[in-house]
Amino acid sequence: MNELKQLLQDVKDQYHRVIIINEENSEPYKKFCKDNKIQVLNLSAKLSELVAGLTADDKPMEAWDKLKDWMSNQRDTILAFDNIDYLFSPEVGIIDPIKNFNYYSRDKQVIIVFIKARKRNNLLIYSEEGNEDYSELDITNNEGFVLGW
């Protein structure tokens, strides 16, 4: 897993500090995280907990802010997330994790995102066209920091 180790060093010098890993090929990367004491957090469960007290009308407007506030209060220099499906739910406003994590990570923590998606050029395709959670995610700003496809 020298590849991930090197990317974790290299990404610290980047404007956007996000590493994207294909969930379907994530086992060695998650093992690396565990071996290096990087906790991989179930993001859907955490976000669900953070928005639990909000009304259905407030969730789409406040979900990302709640998550951002929570991340800001973490002492870890690397945050790793899997099970990110809830971000794509209309219930929380269909949050684009790549765009938002790229924006958040500037001058902050490094973020590792494990995502189940198909890759086409500089796009990740989440879900199936026609589904309400379908998303095309631009990963142009993360070139060189995308693993497992």
Q: 36-69 pLDDT, tens per residue?
A: 999 999 999 999 999 999 999 999 999 999 999 9
Q: What is the reported pLDDT for 141?
A: 96
Give the HSE-up count for residue 82: Cα atoms under 13 Å, Cβ half-sphere: 15
Predicted confidence (pLDDT) at residue 1 exceeds the cutoff of 80: no
pLDDT of 101-121, one tens digit each?
Answer: 999 999 889 999 999 999 999
Residues 73/109, Cβ–Cβ less than 8 Å? no
| Burial class of residue 127 in the structure, from the number of CB atoms within 10 Å of its CB (0-12 exposed, 13-18 middle, 19+ buried) | middle
Distance CA 99, CA 68 (A): 13
Q: What is the reported pLDDT for 2?
A: 86
